[in-house]
Amino acid sequence: MDGKIWRGVQSLLDAYVRIAGGDTAVILYTSDSQRSAALVCAALEMRAIPAIRVWMAPLVDETFEERLIATLPAVDAFAGRLILLSFERDTFSHTGALTRALSIYPPERLRIFRSISASDSLFADALLASPDELSRRNVAILERLTRASHLRITTRGGTDLEVTLDAKHRWISNRGPAREVGTVILPAGEVATFPAKISGVHVADFAYNVNAITDDDVRLETFPVTIEIEGGRVVAHRCEDARTMRFLDSALTTHCAYNVGELGFGTNFGIGEPIAMNSHINERRPGVHIGLGQHNQDPGVVGYQCAIHLDLIARGGIVEVDGSGDVIDLEHLLPSDAPHPESTRDEDVFSPDTLQIEDGDCCGLLSDGVLTPCPAPLVAA
């Protein structure tokens, strides 16, 4: 096994979870993430930390909540914290069931870490950057952009965007620290918001990430995707790869999928080159990405909901802030020692059972560039 993978497993337990004697771990995993779960269980066993493994079907598992409740230890059966770690590759499942099952534990004795894009790369690349390091980089962006009203964003690949920001739109800061309330989403390393206005050209020359189950190669280094944006909507798209164009043609005809729902900046410096797997790992790479379709704001702030979320990711980027000469180089970001803002939200991934999507599907199947609805109804477990 690559030594970087094992170091990433240790980083998860030490830097993220901060595992300690007296803690008990519950490891949830889908079949596609069995290796990730096994690696973490092996590391926990070496530390003499009790670990309970629970398999779950992705998205729809009618008996999952019952099985989980039957497996969970009583509150007085262990001295430390209950650490819940879940691993899925393409999905983010059973939020409602988890919330109900874990409600018996006091918040100060519960920590929840949910990994999407479970893979060797999750450990070997994304988890080698610690939450403290990612937080300092996120602050370096937030302390400048949360006060800004206008951005110009350019990349070596050809992106050139004019963006207007509005303070009513919340920022998301995904950075990975353990906390009493809420869920830590892994991999970490991103700040994002909703652009009040955005126009220009975006060239995604790194990868794309879509909320679909797929084995398609999502790398865009050889055949970048170019979109033209006017008034917050995609008005043209092109790519020289026929498979990718088939996907874009079908995805962008989905209700509201042509809307720009997210302006995001990756900050995870541990991630270098794109991986073929559809993943949030690619999205965390230092650079700018445009999220089409579903937005990242609270209900009612933005006037639509969308079944699809497609991130088009560029390598690197330069952000000019308010035309003042303040320039952010996303690939050479100077970390900040200022306190992290308290007004941001940490989560940037949402389970189907927490969204009210018109068609009820927050996921689909993507094969050879053809996107079709998921055959199973996406309802709460």
| pLDDT, tens digit, 9 for 90 and up, residues 270-329 | 999 999 999 999 999 999 999 999 999 987 899 888 989 999 999 999 999 999 889 999
> 91-100, 216-225, 300-309: which has the minimum mean pLDDT?
300-309
Entry pTM: 0.90
What is the pLDDT averaged over residues 237-251? 95
pLDDT at 153: 99
Residue 359 pLDDT more than 80?
A: no
The pLDDT-based confidence of 376 (bands split at 50, 70, 90) is very low
In the predicted model, is pLDDT for residue 210 greater than 90?
yes
Domains in the chain, CATH or no CATH each: 3-126 (3.40.50), 130-373 (no CATH)
| 321-335 per-position pLDDT tens digit | 999 889 999 999 999
Asked whether the predicted pLDDT for residue 375 surpasses 50, the reply is no
Token pair, residue 121, equals: 């790369």
Higher pLDDT, 59 or 367: 59
Compute the distance between CA of residue 207 and CA of residue 278 in angstroms, rounded to an integer: 9
Say what the pLDDT of residue 163 is: 99
Is omega for the bond preceding 106 within 30 degrees of 0, making it cis?
Answer: no
Instruction: Write down the pLDDT at residue 287.
Output: 99
Chain mean pLDDT for the chain? 91
In this prediction, residues 160-183 reach a mean pLDDT of 92
Residue 127 C-alpha from the chain's centroid = 13
pLDDT digits (tens, 9 = 90+) for 192-202: 999 999 999 99
Give residue 96's pLDDT band: very low, low, confident or very high (50, 70, 90). very high
Quick one: average pLDDT of 159-165? 99
Q: Is the pLDDT of residue 177 over 50?
A: yes
For residue range 33-80, list pLDDT tens digits in order: 999 999 999 999 999 999 999 999 999 999 999 999 999 999 999 999
Phi-psi region of 189 (alpha: psi -120 to 50; beta: other; left: phi over 0): left
Dump the DSSP string for 99-152.
HHHGGGS-GGGEEEEEESS-SHHHHHTGGGS-HHHHHHHHHHHHHHHTT-SEEE
**Section 98-125 average pLDDT:** 96
In the predicted model, is pLDDT for residue 379 greater than 60? Answer: no
Q: What is the dihedral of CA 101, 97, 93, 48, to 10 degrees?
A: 10
Q: Is the pLDDT of residue 248 over 90?
A: yes
For 87, the enclosing helix (H) or strand (E) is strand 82-87
| pLDDT confidence band for 367 (50 / 70 / 90) | low
On the question of pLDDT at 354 being above 70, the answer is no
Q: The tokens of 79 are what?
A: 């001295």
**Cβ atoms 172, 190 nearer than 8 A:** yes
Average pLDDT over residues 164-182: 91
Residue 360 has pLDDT above 90, yes or no: no
Q: Please choose, from the candidates 356, 379, 351, 248, the residue with its C-alpha nearest in 3D space to the C-alpha of residue 306.
A: 356
